[in-house]
Amino acid sequence: LESSLLTQPWASVCFGETAFLAKMCFRDTGYVLLISDLSSVWYEIADTEAVGQRSKELNKRLTVHVSSFLHRLRNLMCPLLAGKPDAATSFSCHRAASGLSLHVKSELSGLPFYWDFHCCPAPAEMVSRHLVRPLIRMSLALQHQVQELTSLLLQKDAEIEDYRESGAALSRDRLRTEPFQVEMFQQNFMAE
């Protein structure tokens, strides 16, 4: 399950006034949730046995197969992660020293449906694998892209200057641009 989570994108979610980044992966064998407020990272991995046990504790009136609970959880969480939560579903969270609890309240077959995700602090290796390393790789890729675009802009400026020296003139003066200033761009980029 955790290796499948690597392919899932991070999504911005809000519970009350608090914003989080979260990603989830559901399978027939269970689910894994990773959630962060960028100060801490929590996770929960639950197999079918854990899902079955918790569903009996939280939903005594529902007698549904574990796969149906997992399917229902997927149908509640995926729209939330896509930024389109179901209006009939409420989410809340509670932080404690031992971790983070995410409470879900909805309906299933006309009966109340409750679920609690019990997340504990994520180990450093998990945080590194799912958050730190991808962010560093993305930062390096963006730096490389900025360098390539800077080089291309300088080449375009040289090409335009060559045209001007050859006597070419713009047919519309509003298209005129100033030469690209690498140092100014880098200063503005770092300031932003």
Q: What is the pLDDT of residue 121?
A: 96
> Residue for token digits 């999504």?
11
Instruction: Say whether domain 1-122 belongs to CATH 3.40.50.300.
Output: no
CATH level 3 topology of 132-191? Helix Hairpins (1.10.287)
Q: What is the mean pLDDT of the chain?
A: 90
Q: What is the pLDDT of residue 127?
A: 93
Whole-model pTM: value is 0.77
Q: How far apart are CA 105 and CA 116, in angstroms?
A: 9
User: Where in the chain are all domains bearing CATH 1.10.287.450?
Assistant: 132-191
User: Where in the chain are all domains bearing CATH 2.170.210.10?
Assistant: 1-122
The number of residues in the chain equals: 192
Higher-pLDDT residue of 115, 2 = 115
Per-residue pLDDT tens for 9-49? 999 998 878 899 999 999 988 999 999 998 999 999 999 99
What is the four-CA torsion angle of 176, 178, 179, 183, rounded to 10 degrees? -160
- Report strand pairing: 30-36 vs 90-96: unpaired
